[in-house]
Amino acid sequence: MSGNFLMGKAIDKSMLERGFAIPVHAQEIFSFHLSGGKLSHGEKRTIKIFFDGEFFEVKLSCSNFNREKYSTHSEQWQILYSKNSPIAKKIREIFSAGKKFFTLYATDLKDVFFMEPKISCDETTLENLLDLSTLTDPQAALLEKFGLTKYRKLNRKIGEQLKKNYNFRCQICGRSIGEFYGVNLAECHHIEPFAESLNNDAANLLIVCPNHHRIIHIAEPTFDRERKIYLYPNGSIESLKLNDHL
């Protein structure tokens, strides 16, 4: 299921009662898994979420804010449900048992998504919990609330700017894997794991395709900064095909 990863999020009161937002950076790839394609401004659709062995209908909404007044605002997508709906009750049941995060995945079916609860976040999930101005982030940190939940505070604009600088191409393979489908798809990888380094500066970020991102996290190669190469445990070596900032 990890190959269809869309987003991750820490649980908050809003999710327990009425829904959650789809990050701007995930909207394009999310659209690819909708039968009607991208949502138009103010549009609402019914989609299904498979969660804890059951299918639940929810509303996918694009907020109908005043575009003339807020011309620079990005589209705001949300998954919505009522406090007493079956999915809200199921979410409260599952997350009252100690789960603190969830991840959302696309499935092979259009308009059907899979939600997975998690007790804690691995580095891959952390990298997708960015709190989307500069190319350094001195405020990057793991914050703790009431000694229970740790969540990530980062400046998403750093990674977003780097993606644009590389035209959404992977620094390792040089490919723009979303280009064929008419979408921009690239991910940020922290060279030194953020959970250990708390370093979200551009100097600690690589722009990679989802395939290389998963391979790096699974194989755990060593990055040689001087030579700009990855050394894999099986002896394989990969150099960066694109590099303008390291």
pLDDT band at 81; cut points 50, 70, 90: very high
Q: How far is CA 81 from the centre of its chain?
A: 21
Choose between 83 and 138: higher pLDDT. 83
| Angle (nearest 5°) at CA 223 between 222 and 226 | 135
pLDDT at 154 over 90: no
pLDDT for 1 equals 45
Pick the CATH number of 2-120 from 2.40.330.10, 3.30.70.1560, 2.60.120.1440, 2.160.10.10: 2.40.330.10
78, 61 contact by CB (below 8 A): yes
Give this prediction's pTM.
0.52
- Residue 159 phi/psi, 5-degree rounding, is -65, -40
pLDDT digits (tens, 9 = 90+) for 112-143: 999 988 766 555 555 555 443 334 444 444 44
- Residues 128 and 7 sit within 8 Å (Cβ to Cβ): yes
Considering only CA atoms, give the Rg of the chain. Answer: 19
pLDDT tens profile 202-238: 888 999 998 999 899 889 899 999 999 999 999 999 9
- In whole angstroms, give the CA distance from residue 81 to residue 62: 14
Domain ranges of the chain: 2-120, 141-239
Torsion sign (Cα): 38, 83, 21, 51: negative
Residue 47 three-state SS: strand
The pLDDT of residue 134 is 38
pLDDT at 86 over 80: yes
* 199's tokens: 């370093």
Instruction: Collect all residues with Cβ–Cβ distance below 8 Å to 11 and sequence separation of at least 6.
Output: 95, 99, 100, 101, 102, 149
- What is the band of 65 on the pLDDT scale with cuts at 50, 70, 90? confident
Residue 100's pLDDT band (cuts 50, 70, 90) = confident
